[in-house]
Structure 1
Amino acid sequence: MAGADADLDMVSGLLDELRELASASGRSRDQGRIYDFRVRWGIAIAGRLERLAHYHAAGALAPDERVRYEALRARLRESLPLMDRLAVPRPRVPLV
């Protein structure tokens, strides 16, 4: 599916950034950076992640994209406490 790899890369990269921001709890966090992240995160999970979920449900992802999507959903599940810690929205797509 055209664009699925880019969507997977973007959401995965944002998950990496979420982990980095959440691990900064002992240091003073840059509130501007967190705000910027929240905006990009919201756009990604409302747009790109929702699109991936749609393509997955429709069976339109290539086998390697399906594997990557399943791994991404597992990472999202594991990151739910971090989302809560930084007060970013949780994904609305099924994570199981």
Structure 2
Amino acid sequence: MTGERDNNGVVGVGADLDSLFAEVEALRELASDSDKARDSARVYDFGIRWGALLSGRLQRLAHYHHRGELTPHEQARYEKLRTELRDVQPLAERLGIARPTIPLEDRR
């Protein structure tokens, strides 16, 4: 699994990061509105999108991170994303949606 590269790193990494950051914000919004959070159809629809992003785009980012193929800017955004995912984990658990399967803590 190797990605196409351009002068700014692996193609699509920026879009992956943008999508994940947007969904983290959508998760916060959904969880903060008690009416929306009780709407099982809305939570289900969100959970499908969320799960697809976690199992697709997030796994792809983790792969390139592990291989050291992210640019310094992408790496910084990836680390911020991991922090954001740690922060919203209780919200995901409360809504009963998927949790990230990548390590969210630094391995020392």
TM-score, normalized by length of structure 2? 0.84
Q: Which of residues 24, 41, 63 is equivalent to 1:54?
A: 63
Deviations 1:40-68 (A, max 9, x none): 00100000000000000000011100000
Q: Which of residues 76, 80, 84 is equivalent to 1:67?
A: 76
Aligned length: 95
Q: CA deviation at 1:34?
A: 1.4
Paired residue secondary structure (1:45): helix
Q: CA deviation at 1:31?
A: 2.5
Does residue 83 in structure 1 map to residue 65 in structure 2?
Answer: no
In the alignment, structure 2 segments of 5+ residues that lack a partner are 1-9
* 2:101 equivalent in structure 1: 92
> How large is the RMSD of aligned CA atoms in angstroms?
1.0
Q: Distance in 2 between matches of 1:33 and 1:90?
A: 18
Q: Distance in 1 between matches of 2:65 and 2:20?
A: 15
Deviations 1:53-96 (A, max 9, x none): 00000000111000000000000001110010111111000101
Amino acid at match of 1:61: L
* 2:5 equivalent in structure 1: none
- Greater relative contact order structure (CA < 8 Å, 6+ sep): 1
Q: Which has the higher helix share?
A: 1
Larger radius of gyration: 2
Q: Give the fraction of aligned pairs with identical amino acids, expressed as a percent.
A: 52
In the alignment, structure 1 segments of 5+ residues that lack a partner are none
Amino acid at match of 1:80: Q
Q: Distance in 2 between matches of 1:50 and 1:31?
A: 27
